[in-house]
Amino acid sequence: MQLLRRMLALTALCGLAVCQTGLTTIQDTLFKADGTRFNGTLTIQWSTFDAVNIGTIVQQSKSVQVVNGNLMVQLVPNAGAQAPANIYTVHYQSDGSQQFAETWTVPVSTQALTVAAVRTGSLVVTATQGGTGTSSTQAPIPEADVTGLQADLNQRPTKGAAYGTNGVAVVDNNGILQTAAGQVGDCVLVDGTTGPCGSPTYSDAETPGGTLDGMNGTFTLANTPLGTSLMLFRNGVYLTVGSDYNLTGSTIQFVAGAIPLPGDTLTASYRVDLSASGDIANVATQNTVRATSTAQVICSAAGTTSSATAWNSLGACDIPAAQLQPGDRIEVRFTFAHTGTASGFNLQLNWGSTTILARSGSAQDIAVAGLAEAAVTTTGAQISVQSWGTVLPFLPAILNSPLQSGVRVGLLASLTNAGSDTVTLTNYTVLRYPAN
């Protein structure tokens, strides 16, 4: 009878609320996961929003009792309501604690709606000091609802049909990312095209054109030398530019007193300037070869200090597989310093998984230096090593290391006896001389 009276009271209230135009009824039967009916309280919270055809709804909350699973509540529709807030936050309490929370978006409806029809997302319930709280909604946010997102995304380059991994990315005429097509070892030009890097063009043992009569001082080469690459010989004697002759383009002008005589032999060797010869297609190739003809610094830094008797890494340099091509040469230079006189010390240089140097210095050694050169081959590397110290004698060695996919050059040290002595990797440098 008591339950019946409560239901009749709710019905009377419902009838009164229906008369309030613009409200939507949410009516449902709620269950627990074990099939029994839910009993508890729903606390519905909202922030101030402007409802269509009603007006401003001020921030407040409302508690609704759910008895034997029966839920009935009427709310102002918030679907399509204007910002700042247009959702209802609903907290479910039962058995003395908050169970979970979710968000509702209520549309205009003359028919009663179920909870499933208005639920738009769930909230994570988190423990807070003195009670519980909720974190942000887990419901996905449509891209169209994020102001400016699509415009920002449109500014980013997109992947094209020819985009791939482990390659050089180029931007095509439409601003789309593609992957440069070519073979391993090819050069990539600024326009995104690829091709063999090639080799510089030389002119060796060329005889300059001109009359050898003791009076003519102007001679001409077949091509324009690149930079200062010209080596000019007269009867086997090397001539100096500025002192013996001057070079303008492909023209050699001998100074007074150095003009060749009848019977003299002139010989010129030089690298051809392809841009001057009209071979524009290979100018970028030539510049690439010139840029890679010197050593590349892979690592160069000061190491750390150790006072431990256990092995410690004082410095390391990772060489990727792409920089270990057959024909390349890797050079490692290092310097250690020892302070104190109570303990000797041990040093180690590793080429990947191979120890290529292991030496022990005495307490009197204050410094140890050395270098290693690795000639990269198709089967690994042939490595020559040499080291010396203030007391430690000079020691050369040569050994082979197996093929490895990338190499870590590691420098380690340890002290013989515990105490106040220290050993420091003062500097180490790893250089690469690429194959042409």
- Looking at per-residue confidence, does 175 or 104 come out higher? 104
Closest CA to 395 of 354, 347, 359, 341: 359
Interatomic CA distance for residues 355 and 349, integer angstroms: 6
Assign 31 a pLDDT band (cuts: 50, 70, 90).
Answer: very high
Interatomic CA distance for residues 85 and 276, integer angstroms: 71
Interatomic CA distance for residues 313 and 425, integer angstroms: 10
Interatomic CA distance for residues 124 and 130, integer angstroms: 17
Phi, psi (rounded to 5 degrees) for 14: -60, -45
Delineate the domains of the chain, giving CATH numbers in brackets: 2-137 (2.60.40), 202-287 (no CATH), 296-433 (2.60.120)
Tokens of 88: 């209802």
Q: What's the mean pLDDT in 72-87?
A: 79
- The helix (run of H) or strand (run of E) holding residue 289 is helix 283-291
Q: What's the mean pLDDT in 52-67?
A: 88
Q: How do residues 341-393 score in pLDDT, each as one tens digit? A: 999 999 999 999 999 999 999 999 999 999 999 999 989 999 999 999 999 99
Q: What is the three-class DSSP state of 47?
A: coil
Residue 236 pLDDT greater than 90, yes or no = no
Q: CB of 400 within 8 A of CB of 376?
A: no
Q: How do residues 288-324 score in pLDDT, each as one tens digit? A: 444 344 577 888 999 999 999 999 999 999 888 777 8
Q: How do residues 275-289 score in pLDDT, each as one tens digit? A: 665 554 455 444 444
Give the pLDDT of residue 373: 94
Assign 97 a pLDDT band (cuts: 50, 70, 90).
Answer: confident
Amino acid symbol at 284: A
Amino acid symbol at 254: F
Residue 325 pLDDT greater than 90, yes or no = no
Residue 99 pLDDT greater than 70, yes or no = yes
Amino acid symbol at 389: G
Q: CB of 14 within 8 A of CB of 72?
A: yes
Residue 105 pLDDT greater than 80, yes or no = yes
Q: Is 80 exposed, middle or buried (0-12, 13-18, 19+ CB in 10 A)?
A: exposed
53-62, 118-127, 242-251, range with greatest mean pLDDT: 242-251
Q: What's the mean per-residue pLDDT of the chain? A: 83
Give the pLDDT of residue 319: 86
DSSP secondary structure string for all residues of 248-287: ETTEEEEPTT-PPPTT--EEEEEEB-TTTTT-GGGHHHHH
Residue 163 pLDDT greater than 50, yes or no = yes
Residue 129 pLDDT greater than 50, yes or no = no
DSSP state of 8: H
Phi, psi (rounded to 5 degrees) for 60: -165, -175
Residue 245 pLDDT greater than 90, yes or no = yes
Give the pLDDT of residue 276: 63
Interatomic CA distance for residues 366 and 336, integer angstroms: 8
Give the pLDDT of residue 140: 61
- The β-bridge partners of 411 are 315, 349
Q: What's the mean pLDDT in 406-434?
A: 92
Q: CB of 232 within 8 A of CB of 257?
A: no
Single pTM value for the model: 0.38
